[in-house]
Amino acid sequence: MDFAVPDELAALRSSYAAFLDREVRPVEERLRAELDAPAPDRELLYDAAMGVRRRSAEEGFYACYLPEEVGGWGVSTLGTALLVEDEVTIAVQVKGKLRDTLTVAK
């Protein structure tokens, strides 16, 4: 049984990793003090999270798992899992705070 990641998913993963490095890491670095604060400015974090979400949507990553008919890329379950794995790596490094803001922000 071949457990190698298919080439198209490896390319997608590489593209997503570049997005995370280009768009998420600078936000985390800029907001490091706020993220570590005992009482962070939730509005500031929310605005930053929405900016990352917007850029993710613009580049097609935000809902890439949706079918192409509704604007997604139709990425497989394996592809989605690989992207989530990369995202979680970043979220853990950010101590989950920016990710939590993305998740609970309404």
Per DSSP, 5 falls in state: P
**How many helices (H) and strands (E) would you count in the chain?**
6, 0
| pTM > 0.85: yes or no | no
CA distances from 3 to 6, 11, 15, 78 (A): 9, 16, 21, 11
Predicted confidence (pLDDT) per residue in 48-89, tens digit:
999 999 999 999 998 999 999 998 899 999 999 999 888 887
Coil, strand or helix: which one is 61?
A: coil
Confidence band for 103, pLDDT divided at 50, 70 and 90? low
